[in-house]
Chains A and B, each alone.
Chain A
Amino acid sequence: MHLLRQLRQVNGLRSLRQATRQVATGPTKPATLQYERDPQPLFTDAETQRLLQSMTQLNLDRVFRKRTVPDNSVETKFMTDEQLDSEFQQMVERAKQRLQMPPIVTIKKDEERIIAKDPALKDFASTKYVFTDITFGLRQSERKVVVRETDGTLAYATLETTKRMNQLYFPLEGRQSYNPRMFLLEELFAKCLAEHKYEFVLDRLLVQYEPHEPEFHNISARVFEHLNESKQFDLLRSTRHFGPMAFFYAWHRCIDDLLYDMIRRDYLSNAVELIALSYKIHKVPVEYLPTLAQLDALQITPAQRALAELRSVFRNREENQGIEQEIHTAIGKTEQDFAADEVSLKFIEQYIASEHALKKVQLELAVQTLKEVNREKLLLFQGLKKAHGVQAS
């Protein structure tokens, strides 16, 4: 009864709503930057993926942060050390799975694929028929949807119809059969961006649209553009959207703001990887592979780092955890880290000096500040070591 009443109320408002709908003609206004050629081969390349994963980092607290779920119960268990260790490994695997990046592919165009033409069937019905194959166990991409037009033509359905039918007969959780208002009305979308709800927008975008749809490209590009202006890159770190974002900036030659952010936060190896990615995409004749190899030798991957952090609970038990370890935890850096910093700083300075850097002054300043902080840290580190009589290895 209540629902009926609401329906009647809404009917009253209908004319008003139609007016607003006419104002918003399409899904939000187009972004300025678009992929002009197919980015898929470069993006799915193993090396690119490795760089992007490294840049994303892996902060377990961030990946497994508290979410709103219907059942928020807690399960407490006993575990032996072996079980706990394997649980840690599985956890890192799960985190990696959650950080899988959505693919960047080119926009798919509709093409007409006619199966049969039968002029004798003209006007056999007043409307067209849409046939969906609901055979069990097919993937959405494999499912055939065909349309018999009123003029007797039998053809494969358009992408839009196919998606609609798939959603009708095999609904995806979270995806709506209509365009969400958030993506439809410019003012709502702008509000989302202004409140820095980037992850929310991108997550919903991923559920609602396929990566090959123009809406997906348009909206994600707009989010990344807005992000480049607001410079809140840290909001996307340790989420699955950081990789596509970095790739987007590298592709469109606007990495400088992200680079500045990375240097300021002392993520120097990430900065090197970003520069290397941009060199790779634009085929700049600079040798970046040796530097990356050097860094790889000195540093561990984010997943390994996360696992080591988890395993540190075992180490705390052993009382003589070593003075060297203590110094490392106090300073936050090891000897290898200092060496890696040196290598990366050299590479970054090289980039700043080249003609590819657009915001030279800003970057130089950041590098100088970081250098000073690092030097002080190194002095302290060496002093502490000497005081405790630890041999430099």
Chain B
Amino acid sequence: MARLLFQTLSLSILKNDKIWLVHPTHMLPYTSLRNTSFFNRLPAEDIWRGVTAVSNAGKKRGRGKGSGKKVAKDLNRGQTIGFGKKSCLWPGLNSPVFRGNELIHQQKTVEGTDREYGINKLRDSMGNFRLMKLNPIDRGWSGSKMPGRSIGPPDTVSEEEFTSFDTRVLENKIVFIMKGNMGRKRRYSVLSVTGNGNGLAGFATVKAPEVRTALRMSKNRAAQKLINISLCENRTIYHDFFTAFGKTKIYCFQKPDGYGLICHRAIKTICKVIGIKDLHAKIEGSTNLQHIVKAFFIGLMRQKSFQNIATETDLNIVQQQKSKIGYTEVKGIPLSKPAPFSNIQVIDYMHYTLGNKIVLKKKEVSPFYIYTKGHELKQIKNERFRNQINVRLNKLVKLYV
């Protein structure tokens, strides 16, 4: 409240001529003239109220009644349009209008139907509530909000073009800081990630007083912080990994072709920008967006190639695909042959890659109704229809054969 008062005061200082004139150094060479005052800005009713009205408290006490009551005068009485203080001839108002030698009488012209329609349309277009129309493809995570939306490739930097890059906003929020002379200063913070869909990506957080500026700046800064992330088979991560930043813990799992991205929406967006197509991720702890992004990028950068793991552990790495029934593919072989009779302890690959961590599996809570009598009766009733769908399907198939 105090802040608002201060602002209005400072404004009035700027505008009020009298106060200006106090300072002799700033004397203006002319006397300023103001053509507006509340006499010509407010309607007569409002101005009269200033004189005649009684406050609520006054009304309660019975003021504004009886003999001393001020009454508004109708100043329009006795006046005729066209005749005033200065006597003047107004053609069409208090004197006739001629076209050539002909006196013009009042008469109807041809009606234009378009006029009303045009006006209505104009009024509709000024509607009180405007919907943000957005192509479903361009939509972000939620409605027309910025997070999840694409803001195009970063701007060209000295002939370095970022074609094939795409930038996605991850976070767009208002932040305040306290300034000595301005008080709460509002700015917009934007976190965005940019990448070429082929293993090159970067992210940046930028604050700016305007949303548009913040978006542009974060996009361009992300382009300056590109990180190269090598992809396994051009579609997924090399191995499962655990990564954390602050209280955010992420478990990422390598998945087969066609699995898709089953993870937090921010991770999904980052993966799309990087070019990862199959991944499962589970977040434990805080879901702070900044932390998720940082943790995920750290995890990606800390990946090791199969060959590195093999060299580190002195063990062969093999892959068995269920779609190639029983086939064992050798992925990494230690460079040096292990010494004979060396007692190598074979560790579990997943334990190794996840750093001996496992995802917390929450106990499944069964719905409240499964121990009720009604549910039991329903199950008994449905028991006899358990194979009905298959029988009908077979019937259908047999008709075709």
Binding site for B on A (CB under 8 A): 3-4, 6-7, 10-11, 13-14, 17, 60, 64-69, 71-81, 83-84, 87-88, 91, 94, 178-181, 184, 313-314, 316-318
CB-CB under 8 A from A17, the residues of chain B are 399-400
CB-CB under 8 A from B287, the residues of chain A are none
> What are 17 contact pairs spanning A and B, CB under 8 A?
A3-B392, A3-B396, A4-B392, A7-B392, A10-B396, A10-B399, A64-B324, A71-B322, A72-B256, A76-B319, A78-B315, A84-B318, A87-B318, A88-B328, A91-B328, A94-B326, A318-B337
Asked whether B327 lies within 8 Å of A91 as measured between CB atoms, the reply is yes
Complex Cα gap A3–B327 (Å)? 40
Tell me, yes or no, whether B313 is within 8 Å of chain A by CB: yes
Asked whether A78 lies within 8 Å of B347 as measured between CB atoms, the reply is yes
Complex Cα gap A88–B327 (Å)? 9
Asked whether B330 lies within 8 Å of A72 as measured between CB atoms, the reply is no
Complex Cα gap A74–B327 (Å)? 11
Asked whether A84 lies within 8 Å of B320 as measured between CB atoms, the reply is no
Tell me, yes or no, whether B398 is within 8 Å of chain A by CB: yes
Given A66-B324, A72-B322: A78 touches B352 (CB 8 Å cut-off): yes
CB-CB under 8 A from B337, the residues of chain A are 81, 317-318
Given A78-B316, A81-B338: A73 touches B326 (CB 8 Å cut-off): no
CB-CB under 8 A from A181, the residues of chain B are 400-401
Asked whether B321 lies within 8 Å of A66 as measured between CB atoms, the reply is yes
B133 CB to nearest A CB, Å: 35
CB-CB under 8 A from A91, the residues of chain B are 326-328
Apart from the given pairs A66-B321, A78-B315, A94-B326, 13 other A-B contacts in the complex at a CB distance below 8 Å: A3-B389, A13-B399, A74-B322, A77-B319, A78-B313, A78-B347, A79-B315, A80-B346, A83-B346, A87-B328, A91-B328, A180-B401, A316-B333
A-B pairs, 8 with minimum CB distance: A64-B327, A72-B323, A78-B315, A64-B324, A79-B316, A75-B320, A72-B256, A94-B326
Complex Cα gap A66–B349 (Å)? 24
Asked whether B393 lies within 8 Å of A14 as measured between CB atoms, the reply is no
Complex Cα gap A343–B111 (Å)? 110
Asked whether B396 lies within 8 Å of A6 as measured between CB atoms, the reply is yes
CB-CB under 8 A from A318, the residues of chain B are 337
In the complex, which of the residues B313, B319, B336, B347 contacts A74, with contact meaning CB atoms closer than 8 Å? B319
Given A76-B349, A78-B347, A83-B346: A69 touches B400 (CB 8 Å cut-off): no
Within 8 A of A (CB), among B251-307: 254-258
Chain B residues with a Cβ closer than 8 Å to the other chain, count: 45
In the complex, which of the residues A7, A76, A317 contacts B318, with contact meaning CB atoms closer than 8 Å? A76
Tell me, yes or no, whether B239 is within 8 Å of chain A by CB: yes
Closest A residue to B337 by beta carbon equals A317
CB-CB under 8 A from B254, the residues of chain A are 74, 76
CB-CB under 8 A from B344, the residues of chain A are 80
Within 8 A of A (CB), among B346-367: 346-350, 352
B372 CB to nearest A CB, Å: 28
B345 CB to nearest A CB, Å: 10
Asked whether B324 lies within 8 Å of A67 as measured between CB atoms, the reply is yes
Complex Cα gap A215–B320 (Å)? 38
Asked whether B318 lies within 8 Å of A77 as measured between CB atoms, the reply is yes
In the complex, which of the residues B321, B328, B335, B349 contacts A72, with contact meaning CB atoms closer than 8 Å? B321
Tell me, yes or no, whether B123 is within 8 Å of chain A by CB: no
Closest B residue to A68 by beta carbon equals B323
A306 CB to nearest B CB, Å: 12
Chain A proximity mask over B64-83: 1 for CB below 8 Å, otherwise 0:
00000000000000000000
Tell me, yes or no, whether B173 is within 8 Å of chain A by CB: no
CB-CB under 8 A from B401, the residues of chain A are 178-181, 184
Given A67-B325, A81-B316, A81-B337: A74 touches B346 (CB 8 Å cut-off): no
Asked whether B338 lies within 8 Å of A80 as measured between CB atoms, the reply is yes
Complex Cα gap A75–B255 (Å)? 10
B256 CB to nearest A CB, Å: 5
Tell me, yes or no, whether B381 is within 8 Å of chain A by CB: no
B276 CB to nearest A CB, Å: 16
Given A74-B256, A80-B338, A87-B328: A178 touches B398 (CB 8 Å cut-off): yes
Complex Cα gap A8–B330 (Å)? 55
Asked whether A77 lies within 8 Å of B395 as measured between CB atoms, the reply is no
Within 8 A of A (CB), among B372-401: 389, 392-393, 395-396, 398-401
Complex Cα gap A78–B350 (Å)? 10
A21 CB to nearest B CB, Å: 8
Complex Cα gap A91–B329 (Å)? 11
Within 8 A of A (CB), among B44-97: none
